[in-house]
């Protein structure tokens, strides 16, 4: 066994795990260990925030923390080593393997080192597929580093770097009409790792126009950033020194603005809302209803021994009313399968509850909510809300929702036009309950009134079906005894 192999087995690297839901990066929120601390297999070492939730990561090794590769607040690509552990600290000093660049972690063809961590357990062994080294093109001489830098600068529209003072042999100038993609083999597409391809796509850069500087002709992050840098202004046209005077009455607001990177839950929410708003044709209907009887029932349930220790509030009865209405109109509980051009009708209801958290809006759901009793529903609703506020909601808790309730009434808002959670058929907005004049038994009285709004996917739910669904929710809240007669 060579010294390098022994070191690799002794110093084990723990990589940012793949959540298994298509996420490519995560932000390190907090480290629970520091270099020199002893860790055991399965011990939580850090908390990270993905685009869906904050998750604590256990480490699959026992030993002493040798190095933390990234600090708190840093966003790291999935597959990148974030911590190194000395699994045999009593063996004395040894040479520690150097940390690999972040962009190389996604496709690293390294020898497998034990289990590869995912957020739930430890995944399957990595593929043994190897990438063949790129062969140089016949008749094309390898370019020295200065020539590569000059060509890359020309491709990026910038002036080439100054030549060294030492005389060099004249190089053959590339033909002006040669395409930028000539630096890439004609037989295949440019070589780049998935995070680098995503970066290029986000920046609007064509990988075929980039001259690779990585090993085996791989395009690196630095190459993409260099290609995205705007060209320098010509020396003969310098910017004017004098600054134009501000227009009368204008105010410079730059000093009073803050810019915050879009990431984590906020980024995922933005992408989901845009996708939903421009994919599913939304229809929103409204109804105002007298919920005085429901509010009285809430107070009675708080005194019921069967509900002792449970969280009883109006949202609980709204959720139950929604479930009863869906039971009467099961066609509204469906999903649109665009790929297969099918409508998927679901014989279960995973009821989502929109929750505002310090990290942004998330929508965990109660699995198979329609089959639960009122005490069971109250228990799960309370757990769901408290877990969300603590930022501990798991990605699994937010997957598979069918319909959602958003309680905008807690903010004193009458109602709204909620946007569907992607993949769901309907979302019910529950507005504030207020004392209002209302005709009750032929007389105008002060009654507790609220407004409900139901948004639904018009591909799945016709106007008649949506109207009946909303009317039934209102009917249950108006006369909650229908929970028994209809339920």
Q: Sheet holding 25-31: strands in order across? A: 54-58, 44-49, 25-31, 75-77
- pLDDT at position 90 is 78
Active site residues: 458
β-bridge pairing 191-192 and 75-77: unpaired
Number of C-alpha atoms within 13 angstroms, CB side, residue 32?
14
Say how far apart CA 401 and CA 110 lie, in whole Å. 39
The SS3 of residue 467 is helix
> Mean pLDDT for each 10-residue chunk of the chain (487 residues)?
65 81 78 93 88 81 92 89 90 60 42 44 43 49 52 49 46 42 51 79 82 84 79 51 59 81 75 80 96 97 94 96 97 94 96 86 93 96 89 85 96 94 95 96 96 96 97 98 91
Say how far apart CA 469 and CA 179 lie, in whole Å. 60
Q: Does residue 315 contact residue 430 with C-beta atoms inside 8 Å?
A: yes
* First-to-last C-alpha distance (Å) of the chain: 70
Nearest to 452 by CA among 477, 419, 428, 426: 428
Token pair of 182 as six digits: 């000539």
- pLDDT at position 121 is 40
- pLDDT at position 484 is 92
Torsion 311-312-318-320 (CA) sign:
positive
Which residues are CB-contacts of 299 (< 8 A; sequence separation ≥ 6)? Answer: none
- pLDDT at position 19 is 58
Q: Does residue 63 contact residue 87 with C-beta atoms inside 8 Å?
A: yes
């Amino acid at each position: 066994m060579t010294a390098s192999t022994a070191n690799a087995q002794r110093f084990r690297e723990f990589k940012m795990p793949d959540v298994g839901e298509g996420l490519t990066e995560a932000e390190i929120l907090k480290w629970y260990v520091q270099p020199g601390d002893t860790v055991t297999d399965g011990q939580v070492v850090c908390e990270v925030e993905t685009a869906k939730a904050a998750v604590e990561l256990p480490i699959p090794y026992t030993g002493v923390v040798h190095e933390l590769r990234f600090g708190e607040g840093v966003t790291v690509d999935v597959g990148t080593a974030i911590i190194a552990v000395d699994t045999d600290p009593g063996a004395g000093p040894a040479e520690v393997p150097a940390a690999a660049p972040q962009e190389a972690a996604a496709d690293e063809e390294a020898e497998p080192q034990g289990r590869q961590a995912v957020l739930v357990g430890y995944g399957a062994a990595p593929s043994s597929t190897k990438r063949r080294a790129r062969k140089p093109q016949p008749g094309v001489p390898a370019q020295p580093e200065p020539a590569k830098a000059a060509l890359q600068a020309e491709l990026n529209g910038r002036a080439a770097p100054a030549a060294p003072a030492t005389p060099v042999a004249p190089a053959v100038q590339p033909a002006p009409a040669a395409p930028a993609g000539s630096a890439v083999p004609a037989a295949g597409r440019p070589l780049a790792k998935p995070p680098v391809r995503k970066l290029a796509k986000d920046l609007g850069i064509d990988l075929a126009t980039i001259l690779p500087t990585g090993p085996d002709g791989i395009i690196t992050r630095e190459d993409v950033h260099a290609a995205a840098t705007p060209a320098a202004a010509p020396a003969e046209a310098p910017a004017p020194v004098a600054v134009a005077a501000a227009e009368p009455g204008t105010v410079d607001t730059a000093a009073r603005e803050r810019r915050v990177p879009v990431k984590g839950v906020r980024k995922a929410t933005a992408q989901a809302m845009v996708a939903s708003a421009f994919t599913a044709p939304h229809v929103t209907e409204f109804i105002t209803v007298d919920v005085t009887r429901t509010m009285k029932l809430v107070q009675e349930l708080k005194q019921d021994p069967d509900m002792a220790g449970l969280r009883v509030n109006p949202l609980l009865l709204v959720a139950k009313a929604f479930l009863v209405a869906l039971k009467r109109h099961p066609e509204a509980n469906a999903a649109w399968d665009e790929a297969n051009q099918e409508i998927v009708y679901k014989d279960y209801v995973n009821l989502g509850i929109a929750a505002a958290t310090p990290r942004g809006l998330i929508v965990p759901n109660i699995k198979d909510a329609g089959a639960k009793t009122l005490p069971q529903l109250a228990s799960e609703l309370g757990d769901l809300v408290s877990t969300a506020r603590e930022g501990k909601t798991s990605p699994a808790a937010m997957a598979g929702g069918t319909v959602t309730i958003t309680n905008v009434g807690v903010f004193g808002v009458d109602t709204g036009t909620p946007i569907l959670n992607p993949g769901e058929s309907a979302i019910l907005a529950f507005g504030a309950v207020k004392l209002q004049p209302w005709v009750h038994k032929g007389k105008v009285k002060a009654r507790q009134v609220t407004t409900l709004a139901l948004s639904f996917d018009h591909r799945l739910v016709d106007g008649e079906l949506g109207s009946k669904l909303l009317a039934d929710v209102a009917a249950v809240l108006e006369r909650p005894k229908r929970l028994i007669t209809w339920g």
